[in-house]
């Protein structure tokens, strides 16, 4: 049995774990790995290593930091297949999907290599007589990231490249369900020349999370996961005077207007609803066709496409969709399908009976693509984030009905509209109360030089991931007012000082 442990100060670290947990291959249901669950002492060790490394790293030139990240970028580029294979083996997503994850993470590394530009401040000359003023950005110190199982490489890379580029040291607590990708990232950063202690990995569960939230030397926490945990992270972190950005759950709607290209919309829905088995916070889980005619035509196109889904392990490169991450999560998704039937939705395609025909994969955690019609807002399959391959169709009569539906949901992460009408698209993009919007784009994840974040119960905190919001989150400003005397002397001044 292979033990997956921590990475601290440039080397693997066994620590004194509080326990161990099996790591499964979702495609087969088998396990030959265990992950160490960090004790509070292990977390303290990682934070101490980061704190010791920080003074030198913070004073390193932005250009030096950028060059290390650039070398790391090229390692990622050359070994993307290796990282994707590790992701697939523990998460279950197809190889091509895992490669896509690596690529989207690599884009943030590319953005972070612009560190010399990102850290530029502001300067004003002669704000008063003989007085200049400057604003600079400085790193916070030790920052931490707590990341989910669904993107074991991409979400950490949403966080740490910008944190490192801006001069912080980083402690990563990845999901204990698929922990191995984090160690590859750590090893490759060291290979790229990152000084020991600047990037550290602590495996673990709630004990490790709470230790990071409570540690006085951790200045900021980034998190991606479910809304209840995001709210917990934000509340406890803020109570300990940390800067916190916690991204939570989602229930993303896609509006299909009567003038939309229905073939394009159906194909977009297939990838957005069933890609990565629906285990994406930006997955489209609610289709909102406007008028019954559009709904009927859309479903007519979707049903044969769902039936044709190739569901299998990443080892079969022709697979469209892999298994869910654990048996427990598979059972949770199935329980939502059961609930949808009980609550009166029409089950058009039932994924509960799917059995993997490939020999050796019969015990994997598979659920087939599932489609509900005539879903109503009071049903749990509409209200809750299922995080599985379940698409709900909620019919609406008018554009405004569709907008009101979206505005009535407590999640507001991402949304999309499919239409040929520019006026409708522009109104939707401007007026919809959701953080990320796609127009004829089903999964509107921003590029790395923009920022990722939702609204309402999909986010806790005042910032967003990567882009310039990531720079702002990982730095604090310092403003210096400078006077260089020319030999003149002034009397004491007891009124409010003015510089003009």
Q: What angle do CA 215, 218, 223 make, to 5 degrees?
A: 100
Alpha-carbon Rg for the chain in angstroms: 25
Q: Tokens in use for 370?
A: 């599932």
Q: How far is CA 488 from CA 126, 270, 357, 493, in A?
A: 17, 75, 89, 15
**Which SS3 state, helix, strand or coil, does residue 261 take?**
coil
Closest C-alpha among 372, 311, 312 to residue 337? 372
Instruction: Specify whether the CB–CB gap between 419 and 408 falls below 8 A.
Output: no
Residue with token string 């401040």 = 121
Order of strands across the sheet with 475-483? 122-128, 131-139, 475-483
CA 379 to chain centre: 27
Measure the CA–CA gap between 315 and 325, rounded to whole angstroms: 16
Is residue 238 flagged as an active site residue?
no
Q: Please state, as a whole number, how many other Cβ atoms lie within 10 Å of the Cβ of residue 293.
A: 10
Instruction: Name the strand (E) or helix (H) holding 367.
Output: none
Instruction: Provide CB contacts within 8 A for 376, sequence distance 6+.
Output: 344, 345, 382, 394
Q: Of 38, 169, 281, 394, which is the active-site residue?
A: 281
Backbone φ, ψ for residue 392 (5° rounding)? -105, 135
Measure the CA–CA gap between 493 and 290, rounded to whole angstroms: 69
Closest C-alpha among 221, 224, 187, 215 to residue 6? 187
Measure the CA–CA gap between 125 and 144, rounded to whole angstroms: 37
Measure the CA–CA gap between 99 and 101, rounded to whole angstroms: 5
Half-sphere exposure of 107 (CA within 13 A, CB side): 17
Q: Tokens in use for 489?
A: 């002397």
Instruction: Specify whether the CB–CB gap between 222 and 108 falls below 8 A.
Output: no
Q: Which residues are catalytic?
A: 281
């Amino acid at each position: 049995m292979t033990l997956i442990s921590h990475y601290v100060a440039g080397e693997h670290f066994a620590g004194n774990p509080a326990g161990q947990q099996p790591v499964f291959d979702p495609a087969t249901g088998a396990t030959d790995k265990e992950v160490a669950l960090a004790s509070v002492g292990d977390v303290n060790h990682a934070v101490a290593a980061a704190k010791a490394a920080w003074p030198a790293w913070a004073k390193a030139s932005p250009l030096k930091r950028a060059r290390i990240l650039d070398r790391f970028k090229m390692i990622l580029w050359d070994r993307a297949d290796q990282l994707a294979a590790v992701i697939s083996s523990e998460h279950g997503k197809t190889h091509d999907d895992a490669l896509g994850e690596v690529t989207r993470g690599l884009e943030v590394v590319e953005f972070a290599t612009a560190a010399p530009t990102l850290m530029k401040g502001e300067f004003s000359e002669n704000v008063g007589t003989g007085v200049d003023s400057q604003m600079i950005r400085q790193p916070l110190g030790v920052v931490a990231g707590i990341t989910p199982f669904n993107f074991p490489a991409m979400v950490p890379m949403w966080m740490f490249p910008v944190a490192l580029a801006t001069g912080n040291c980083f402690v990563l607590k990845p999901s204990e369900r698929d922990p191995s990708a984090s160690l590859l990232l750590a090893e490759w950063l060291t290979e790229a020349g990152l000084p020991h202690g600047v990037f550290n990995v602590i495996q673990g569960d709630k004990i490790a999370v709470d230790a990071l939230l409570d540690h006085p030397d951790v200045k900021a926490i980034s998190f991606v996961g479910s809304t209840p945990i995001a709210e917990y992270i934000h509340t406890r972190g803020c109570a300990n005077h940390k800067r916190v950005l916690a991204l939570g759950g989602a229930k993303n709607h896609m509006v299909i207007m009567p003038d939309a290209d229905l073939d394009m919309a159906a194909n977009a829905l297939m990838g957005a609803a069933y890609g990565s088995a629906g285990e994406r916070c930006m997955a489209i889980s609610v289709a909102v066709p406007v008028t019954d005619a559009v709904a009927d035509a859309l479903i007519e196109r979707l049903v044969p496409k769902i039936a044709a889904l190739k569901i299998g392990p990443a080892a079969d490169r022709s697979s469209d969709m892999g298994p869910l991450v654990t048996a427990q999560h598979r059972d949770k998704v199935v329980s939502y399908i059961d609930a949808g039937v009980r609550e009166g939705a029409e089950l058009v395609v039932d994924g509960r009976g799917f059995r993997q025909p490939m020999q050796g994969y019969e015990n994997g955690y598979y659920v087939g693509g599932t489609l509900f019609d005539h879903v109503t807002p009071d049903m749990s399959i509409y209200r809750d984030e299922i995080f599985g391959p379940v698409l709900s169709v909620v019919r609406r009569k008018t554009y405004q009905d569709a907008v009101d539906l979206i505005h009535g949901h407590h999640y507001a992460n991402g949304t999309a509209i499919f239409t040929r009408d520019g006026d409708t698209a522009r109104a939707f993009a401007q007026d919809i109360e959701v953080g990320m919007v796609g127009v004829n784009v089903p999964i509107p994840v921003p590029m790395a030089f923009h920022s990722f974040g939702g609204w309402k119960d999909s986010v806790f905190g005042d910032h967003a991931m990567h882009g310039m919001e990531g720079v702002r989150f990982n730095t604090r400003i310092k403003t210096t007012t400078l006077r260089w005397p020319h030999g003149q002397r002034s009397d004491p001044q007891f009124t409010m000082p003015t510089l003009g």
